[in-house]
Amino acid sequence: MNNKIKWLREKIRGLDMQGMIVSNPVNIRYLTGIDAEGILLITRKENHYITDSRYIEEVRSIITIDDEIIVHNASDVNSYDYENFFSFCENVGFEETYITYNTYKNYMQRYKANRLEETENILEKQRMIKDENEIELLKKACELTDNCFSYITKFIKIGMTEKQIAFEIEKYFFEHGAEDLSFKTIVASGKNSSMPHAKATDKKIENGDPITIDFGCKYKGYCSDMTRTVFAGFVPDNIKPVYDLVLKNQLQTEKDMKDGASIRMLFKNVDNDFRLHGYSFVHSLGHGVGLDIHERPFISYSNDSTLKENMVVTNEPGIYLPGEFGVRIEDTALITKSGCINLTKSDKNYIIVGTNNYASNIIN
Amino acid sequence: MNNKIKWLREKIRGLDMQGMIVSNPVNIRYLTGIDAEGILLITRKENHYITDSRYIEEVRSIITIDDEIIVHNASDVNSYDYENFFSFCENVGFEETYITYNTYKNYMQRYKANRLEETENILEKQRMIKDENEIELLKKACELTDNCFSYITKFIKIGMTEKQIAFEIEKYFFEHGAEDLSFKTIVASGKNSSMPHAKATDKKIENGDPITIDFGCKYKGYCSDMTRTVFAGFVPDNIKPVYDLVLKNQLQTEKDMKDGASIRMLFKNVDNDFRLHGYSFVHSLGHGVGLDIHERPFISYSNDSTLKENMVVTNEPGIYLPGEFGVRIEDTALITKSGCINLTKSDKNYIIVGTNNYASNIIN
């Protein structure tokens, strides 16, 4: 049986559960490598994965004998089989933060467990600490992101639309081995940059625009996340102090992040410095990155835990001035015993883009 | 108050509920046009939308006075406010097929309603019947899809990879006004076409390959969905009879679909004809299309209801021969009193693509 499933079995035994129903496909991928629609049942002695005819071929090709997973086509599993999976089990775990209320009721009918027990995100919590293989994949996703950034800064020209730039980023990712995007690419220029979650629009890049580019890709399931705010033509004088303040805090957070660091203090330090300069901090400071683009730990004031070695988190302070502009600078970083290592490594000084006119650069 | 919210208020009154918590963002978009993260509370007399600072500017710009929606920043809403929304309410509806078990428990604590009542997908059921404006948007999404297909059949060349073709489709959509994709574009060639839900791979198109292209875009939130199986170079003799059989059934279904038609019979007719010729029907025959790419009604054997005027559904019979090839032909169609109108209108006869060699067609 693979190590992750072994770990889960020990964990649920410790919680006095005799089995678990794993429904969240991201957790299933974490445990098994399977990327399909289906359900994983950890029973007393066996591991069962139930999928349908659309995926069965693919699933069988992914898992190995070592995984010890019995794969079923849902159409071959009858109600008697379902009852048997957990018969004589007192407590069976389920994912209360993933399945709907309705699915919970269905599980209660379908499985013959005495009780379905909440598992309080045991898998999501375990996923916070990355193993060697996961770190390799995260590094690869971040490397692709750095390469993409270096490409896109040369590509951007004044007169292009935000959408054109976003699209070129996505094209780059797909042409260079990304499995998918981490999330829809954000390219927000001029006033649009004041919205932390802006979508790319048909607005054209103008001289003097700040351009916030927030983007990332998935490599074999694992995400990257990086933001840079670059400048079209020149850096306007009114933006410089804000940029400098954001960067100063991003670099300070980078220094402070390490195994044992208080998450609340990391947030509080940035929040204090922003307030001191008359700005407020509307966004969180960061989040975990893994098979999900936003996962635990969340780096915000309400989180009273600490960073741990081999967590991978973003460091993304930002200042947003509605109707004016915004600046965000973000890296994905690996937490170590003594500090952190940025997995995204692109330059964070002022970056000027688009100094040539777009129209004169198109050769068709 | 807008008509859709008025309808919902009457509906829940009929169910003896004094309010409803709408959590599904697609249902919220349907009712209000708001495309953000937040929650819609239909209380005795008012409509409240609670979002956070990231979206508040955008949301306020979308809704009109006519909508009669009070917008709140979540950070300004305290536990006392939450208790007040449904105070003295006996029954308040919630979306049991959308919210998680955990969210249900949180709602129970947060809102002071006597009971949270399941609403049995009232909004999803209402969304099955499209109004004039929705039909216009669906038509527009389908038109974009037809135009994209006509472009892509000329673009495909032997030697290109499935991913390249998928990417070109997506680029076309974004450059021509689509808001998003309906779903990740499927381009499955040769043996890959035997998997109904294949992803585009790095496999190159070879002479004699069938290529199943399943794609669609969103226009102002509304989806399109179309599949064509085209042929690289020529139509192999072994595929012809399968293609003809799928097309015959697709056209027969097109004839049979109308207001009042039994969904089960539509499915059964195709299933029977496939079996008669020695094939099985592993896929469903279709599904509703709207703000969600897969929504009610689902055209399968287990659905014992009938089609209704102004439903928009797909008609997508397919035959999949593992290890060999697959053929699927799909349109998105509007159901009328007397029949149906295909909103996707691309040719369904044999289509030959890529007759020139790729390499010789690149001009860099």
DSSP string, A21-81: EE--HHHHHHHH---SSEEEEE-SS-EEEEE-TTTHHHHHHH--GGG-EEEEEGGG--HHH
The C-alpha of B58 sits at a distance from chain A's nearest C-alpha, in angstroms, of 9
Q: Best mutation site among B53, B61, B100 for testing chain A: the one with the most A CBs within 10 Å?
A: B100
Q: Best mutation site among A97, A101, A170 for testing chain B: the one with the most B CBs within 10 Å?
A: A101
Residues 6+ apart with CB under 8 A from A91: A15, A16, A17, A18, A113, A114, A115, A117
Subunit contact B180:A184, Cβ cutoff 8 A: yes
Subunit contact B98:A100, Cβ cutoff 8 A: yes
Hey, is the C-beta of B301 within 8 angstroms of any chain A C-beta? no
Residue closest to A223 by CA, chosen among A137, A125, A297, A334: A137
pLDDT digits (tens, 9 = 90+) for A74-109: 999 999 999 999 988 999 999 999 999 999 999 999
Answer CATH for B3-126 from 3.10.20.600, 3.30.530.20, 3.40.309.10, 3.40.350.10: 3.40.350.10
Q: Which residue ranges in chain A fall short of pLDDT 50?
A: 358-364
Subunit contact B163:A174, Cβ cutoff 8 A: yes
Query: For residue B121, what is the nearest residue in chain A, using CA coordinates?
Result: A102
Query: For residue A101, what is the nearest residue in chain B, using CA coordinates?
Result: B101
Query: For residue A107, what is the nearest residue in chain B, using CA coordinates?
Result: B101
What is the C-alpha separation between A145 and A148, in angstroms, rounded?
5
pLDDT at B356: 63
Subunit contact B322:A57, Cβ cutoff 8 A: yes
pLDDT at A356: 63
Hey, is the C-beta of A57 within 8 angstroms of any chain B C-beta? yes
Q: Cα angle at A45 between A44 and A51, to 5 degrees?
A: 90
CB pairs under 8 A between A and B: 66
Subunit contact A99:B101, Cβ cutoff 8 A: yes
Query: For residue A167, what is the nearest residue in chain B, using CA coordinates?
Result: B171
- Identify any residues that bridge with B334 across adjacent strands, giving them in sequence order: B312, B341
**Closest residue to A54, CB basis, from B105, B118, B197:** B197
Residues 6+ apart with CB under 8 A from A334: A130, A135, A138, A310, A311, A312, A340, A341, A343
Hey, is the C-beta of A96 within 8 angstroms of any chain B C-beta? yes
What is the C-alpha separation between A4 and A10, in angstroms, rounded?
10
Both tokens of B82, joined, read 């939450």
What is the C-alpha separation between A315 and A287, in angstroms, rounded?
8
What is the C-alpha separation between A332 and A183, in angstroms, rounded?
14
Hey, is the C-beta of B60 within 8 angstroms of any chain A C-beta? no
Residues of B in contact with A302 (CB under 8 A): none
Residues 6+ apart with CB under 8 A from B248: B273
What predicted TM-score, i.e. pTM, was given to this entire model?
A: 0.87
Q: Cα angle at B80 between B78 and B84, to 5 degrees?
A: 120
pLDDT at B56: 87
CA B77, distance to chain mean position in Å, is 34
Residues of A in contact with B180 (CB under 8 A): 184
Subunit contact A171:B167, Cβ cutoff 8 A: yes
Subunit contact B100:A98, Cβ cutoff 8 A: yes
What is the C-alpha separation between B211 and B217, in angstroms, rounded?
19
Both tokens of B40, joined, read 């819609």
CB–CB of A308/A128 below 8 Å?
yes
What is the C-alpha separation between B210 and B187, in angstroms, rounded?
10
Query: For residue B106, what is the nearest residue in chain A, using CA coordinates?
Result: A97
Residues of A in contact with B118 (CB under 8 A): 101-102
What is the C-alpha separation between B153 and B34, in angstroms, rounded?
36
pLDDT at A362: 39
A298 burial type by CB count under 10 A (0-12 exposed, 13-18 middle, 19+ buried) = middle
Residue closest to A161 by CA, chosen among A190, A215, A202: A202
Looking at residue A7, its amino acid is: W
Fold of B132-361: Creatine Amidinohydrolase (3.90.230)
Q: Which CATH architecture group holds A132-359?
A: Alpha-Beta Complex (3.90)
Subunit contact A97:B96, Cβ cutoff 8 A: no
Subunit contact B197:A282, Cβ cutoff 8 A: no
The C-alpha of B118 sits at a distance from chain A's nearest C-alpha, in angstroms, of 9
Subunit contact A57:B163, Cβ cutoff 8 A: no
Q: Which residue ranges in chain B fall short of pLDDT 50?
A: 358-364
Secondary structure, 3-state, chain B: CCHHHHHHHHHHHHCCCCEEEECCHHHHHHHHCCCCCEEEEECCCCEEEEECCCCHHHHHHHCCHHHCEEEEEHHHCCHHHHHHHCCCCCEEEECCCCCEHHHHHHHHHHCCCCEEEECCCHHHHHCCECCHHHHHHHHHHHHHHHHHHHHHHHHCEECCEHHHHHHHHHHHHHHCCCCEECCCCEEEEHHHHHCCCCCCCCCECCCCCEEEEEECEEECCEECCEEEEEEECCCCCCCHHHHHHHHHHHHHHHHHCCCCCEHHHHHHHHHHHHHHCCCCCCCCCEEECCCCCCEEEEECCCCCCECCCCEEEEECCEEEECCCEEEECEEEEEECCCCEEECCCCCCCCCEEEEEECHHHCCC
DSSP string, A178-204: -SEESSPPEEEEGGGGGSTTPPP-SPB
Residues of B in contact with A322 (CB under 8 A): 57
Hey, is the C-beta of B120 within 8 angstroms of any chain A C-beta? no
For chain B, the distance separating the N- and C-terminal CA atoms, rounded to the nearest angstrom, is: 57
The C-alpha of A58 sits at a distance from chain B's nearest C-alpha, in angstroms, of 9
CA B174, distance to chain mean position in Å, is 18
Residues of B in contact with A283 (CB under 8 A): 54
User: In chain A, which among 251-290 make CB contacts under 8 A with chain B?
Assistant: 282-283
What is the C-alpha separation between A236 and A343, in angstroms, rounded?
30
10 Å Cβ neighbour count for B44?
A: 12
Subunit contact B282:A174, Cβ cutoff 8 A: no
Residue closest to B89 by CA, chosen among B39, B44, B22, B23: B44
Query: For residue B320, what is the nearest residue in chain A, using CA coordinates?
Result: A54
What does the radius of gyration of chain A's CA atoms come to, in whole angstroms? 23
Hey, is the C-beta of A321 within 8 angstroms of any chain B C-beta? no
Cis peptide bond prior to B236, omega within 30° of 0: no
10 Å Cβ neighbour count for A2?
A: 17
Q: Using the structure block, give the residue that is written with the tokens 């472009």.
A: B151
Subunit contact A282:B54, Cβ cutoff 8 A: yes
What is the C-alpha separation between B207 and A304, in angstroms, rounded?
61
- Domain map (residue ranges) of chain B: 3-126, 132-361
The C-alpha of B198 sits at a distance from chain A's nearest C-alpha, in angstroms, of 9
CB–CB of B21/B113 below 8 Å?
no
pLDDT at A360: 38
The torsion angles phi and psi of A322, rounded to 5 degrees, stand at -50, 135
Subunit contact A195:B57, Cβ cutoff 8 A: yes
CB–CB of B231/B351 below 8 Å?
yes
Hey, is the C-beta of A175 within 8 angstroms of any chain B C-beta? yes
Name the strands in the sheet holding B331-335, side by side, starting at the edge strand that comes first in the sequence: B295-299, B286-288, B312-315, B331-335, B340-342
The C-alpha of A97 sits at a distance from chain B's nearest C-alpha, in angstroms, of 5
Query: For residue A177, what is the nearest residue in chain B, using CA coordinates?
Result: B202
Query: For residue B52, what is the nearest residue in chain A, using CA coordinates?
Result: A282
Subunit contact A100:B102, Cβ cutoff 8 A: no
